[in-house]
Amino acid sequence: MSRSRFRAATVLPVSAALVLSGFAVPVAFAADGTQFIVINEVEANGSPDWVELANTNPNEDIDISGWSILDDDDTHTPIVIPDNTKIESGGYYVIHTKDQTPDGSAGFGLGGKKDQVRLFDTNKQLIDETSWDFPDKADSTWGRIPDMTGDFAITGEATKQLKNKGAAGEEEQDAPEQAVEPWPYDQVYNVDLGGDFSGEDMSGVDFDENGRAWVVNNGTGKLYALDYDKAAKKYTLAGTWTLKYADGTGTLDTEGVTVGPDGAIYVATERNNDDKKVSRPSVLRFEVQEGQEELKATAEWNLKDVVGDIKPNSGLEAISYIPEQKLFAVGVEADGKVYFLGLKENGTFELKQTYQSPFAGVMALDYRQQEKQLRVLCDEACDGQSILLAHNGTEFAPASEIQARPAEFANFANEGFGSFTSTGECVAGKAEEITRFLWADDGVTGGISLRGAENAKTVDCEAVDKPNLGAIIGAVFGALLAFVAGLLSAAPIAKWAHDNFNIKLPF
């Protein structure tokens, strides 16, 4: 996806004509998770009015069953949240305050010029509150800027169940987290293939077990295979295919790619570019066939129920297969989440874990079996930072601090990343291990859409003893002689048994 983002380091100013009294002070700080739930956005001029709650805990879902909200009028009946209601980690929950209330009550309207929203837990303890007092009705909603963590202000637009936006229509994003670890590899070089690779929208990257690189373009829905000449240290184009839905239609917004356990290609898509206003967050499977120009999906897993209501161009950005857990990790641009899923052959799936990354959006994923770690990457919106996850026996959790992008990189719009490791022959307990990296720059900075790097190191190894052909032949010949000798020595015994007892032995 081609787009430009701007980062906000401070809260946006609001018109001085407004008397702003919004505040949010969590009152209860208990071990039950109440300290993580905040009022995040309020629509007081809608049909219906609504209040959005947010779970700021990046790792745990929080049960808010029995909690309630109330406006500034204590004579009103609070709206009670139904049983079995949870807000997932980093997620949102919207309460309509009139006519469509979650508890079926009449509810209450919210004042567009002046009012208040209060949030209470099951013990009637005040958890959070916000109030507003405007000379005139606000044109937009009242929400936290930055999303979930900032002070309240008039937003740029209503963003129900999405990240809040600042005023004046600007695409404000949270400031990126500060990287505390350097990128461990450098020596980056340009991969200049020309042709399609001179244009925009190169996105996902992955390597198969033979070291072939697979790249997708999110504008044209094309899949590319790149082979690598180790001696020349050069990539060459080995194949190009246009990807289609199962019925042969569509221009796929292919954002991420990975090679599955069956050798098939799995892509993460945001939408059909022929219908750009409709979100279609799907994983699709393809069997690559030489000599064909188009490939039809053999399976599709639509994850709309998992990712929720997201904008068409903010959906599935990345995918990576994890063989040890037999799961696919899928990254989302809209909220920076990673979903770990088991994809079933019948098109259904099982959600195993949700991880809220520290980034505004997840733009690339790369799993390395050597370290059993998944790298989660953001793009230029987060200064190209990344973090490593590892499975701790129960779930995937951070295995590193936030890492900076390569020192030799400018802040490119890298939406794809992949790595491949090969190990040379073991000699005297040592071998050379070479890891290749590829980044896909969606913005084709300087006319270059792919950049690579290579890291070589010496590792310990155990030489595999080669079989001694002479010894094998000798052993087989010896066994054959022993068998023949056994037959010869058994002949007199067989004759004696026949002559004396009329018994015929089988040798």
What is the mean pLDDT of the segment spanning 193-199?
A: 94
What is the mean pLDDT of the segment spanning 160-187?
A: 67
Reply yes or no on whether the pLDDT at 2 is more than 50: no
- Provide CB contacts within 8 A for 275, sequence distance 6+: none
**Residue ranges covered by each domain of the chain:** 6-174, 198-418, 478-507
What percent of the chain has pLDDT above 70?
A: 82
Q: How confident is the model at residue 493 (pLDDT cuts 50, 70, 90)?
A: low
More confident: 191 or 157: 191
Reply yes or no on whether the pLDDT at 189 is more than 70: yes
pLDDT in tens, 294-304: 999 999 999 99
More confident: 89 or 69: 69
Of 9-13, 277-281, 338-342, 473-477, the least confident: 9-13
- Written out in words, the top-level CATH class of the domain with range 6-174 is mainly beta
Paired residues of 431 in beta bridges: 459
pLDDT in tens, 8-52: 222 223 332 333 333 333 333 344 567 889 999 999 988 789 999
pLDDT in tens, 437-476: 999 999 898 899 999 999 888 999 887 655 555 555 666 6
CA distances from 503 to 487, 493, 497 (A): 18, 11, 6
What is the mean pLDDT of the segment spanning 367-390?
A: 94
The answer to whether 244 and 222 are in contact (CB under 8 A) is no
What is the mean pLDDT of the segment spanning 431-440?
A: 94
Reply yes or no on whether the pLDDT at 279 is more than 60: yes
The fold of 198-418 is: Methylamine Dehydrogenase; Chain H (2.130.10)
The answer to whether 17 and 135 are in contact (CB under 8 A) is yes
Residue 174 pLDDT: 47
The C-alpha R_g of the chain, in whole angstroms, comes to: 31
DSSP codes, 295-363: EE-SEEEE-HHHH-S--TTSSEEEEEEETTTTEEEEEETTT-EEEEEEEPTTS-EEEEEEEE-SSS---
Convert 297-316 to b/e letters by CB count within 10 Å (16 or more is b).
bebebbbeebbbebebbbbb
Q: How confident is the model at residue 74 (pLDDT cuts 50, 70, 90)?
A: very high
Closest CA to 301 of 268, 370, 348, 338: 348
CATH topology match: 6-174 vs 198-418? no
Residue 138 pLDDT: 77
Reply yes or no on whether the pLDDT at 235 is more than 80: yes
pLDDT in tens, 342-355: 999 999 999 999 99
Residue 476 pLDDT: 60
More confident: 172 or 268: 268
Distance of alpha carbon 133 from its chain centroid, rounded? Answer: 41
What is the mean pLDDT of the segment spanning 419-444?
A: 93
